[in-house]
A = this chain, B = another copy of it.
């Protein structure tokens, strides 16, 4: 290295020594020369907050502490990396760091989705950085491109596969034909699903990420509570088979969209649900634990970002990018671009959101069924694109794909359908994304 750093060292505290924390510490130690050249000053690890210190943690014991608060408060700590996870403790520690003039890098999407407002204000007040590239889509640069690269454009839609667990399960169901329960169990055995998979399979994790993406894309504060959410636990092997027959697959999507109401008002929508995606759509071929985010902007057109959405090293890559940028800002005396919330757009209720639908019904195998079903759709103003009859006798099914309709019109249609004599059950209602009309 030829760089001579004139600047004093930048002190770093890492909170948490799990998958991501261990990788961050490894990179800090293995690549110190490169990092110093890029920052313009040495990055020095002051300490790591751990719950269980010990000789077996892979770092010298004198760097370990159970007292995260004192570590954050140290005078020689300039930057704090929060990779503990959870809510109350990291919130308190991050606020304490920001309020004492320290920049913070965090991967904590749940915390950000609920508390970005409070955290961003503290960062603003103390003129420090709050970076969180690792909170959405792991190693894939998405936050920074949205905040910076698209700062002169108008983002109309962000649609992504941002949860690896559900994508692994849906990809495996599509490939093997196995049902949801068996595939979830297999994902658990392989380490792709946690012991309590609720946050992933019910879409809470994807909803937190949707809130973060929508906030940034639309310059408006959006929290997890603003995000409409459905998980994948009701998806059946039969749904995937029907999807294939329609040249589609099923993906759990996080969608953020700019909507114009029939009255011409500008609204935004943030929503998470499993949807049929045409096989030729770029998101359809994103399989297993990979993530991808498609951004549609007025001038840029459609962009796609693809890569590893989880895992220690990929997530640490994103954390380290933020860390180097925050450290450069410390060295140069400035701070980086931040998210903004000036637009203050209102959230459209899910009932107003127009999409296409796939409706799968168990029906009596009789003449007149199709016309009765079609009449219900028509009466509620929902236009049918295709109808497909599957099976016969007791196993007879009708698979309807609609043109664009609002969620409320579709819900009313489904309610009316389930009251029809010929319709034994409406077994699945899923949205169809990634097509026109």
Contact = CB atoms under 8 A, between A and B. Distances in A.
Interface of A: 1-3, 23, 27, 31, 34-35, 37-38, 133, 139-141, 144-145, 148-154, 219, 282, 297-308, 313-314, 316-325, 328-329, 332-337, 340, 342-344
Nearest to A146: B141
A38 B340 contact: yes
A317 B302 contact: no
Given A3-B342, A333-B334, A153 B321 contact: yes
A152 B10 CA distance: 15
A362 B300 CA distance: 46
Contacts of A317: 150, 152-153, 297-300
B149 A37 contact: no
A32 B148 CA distance: 17
Given A141-B144, A152-B323, 8 more contacts: A27-B152, A27-B299, A37-B343, A298-B313, A303-B307, A304-B304, A304-B306, A332-B334
Contacts of A333: 334
Contacts of A154: 31, 34
20 contacts: A3-B342, A23-B299, A34-B219, A37-B342, A38-B219, A38-B340, A139-B303, A141-B148, A148-B321, A150-B317, A152-B322, A153-B321, A297-B317, A298-B313, A302-B307, A302-B308, A303-B306, A304-B305, A306-B306, A336-B336
Nearest to A308: B301
A20 to B, nearest CB: 11
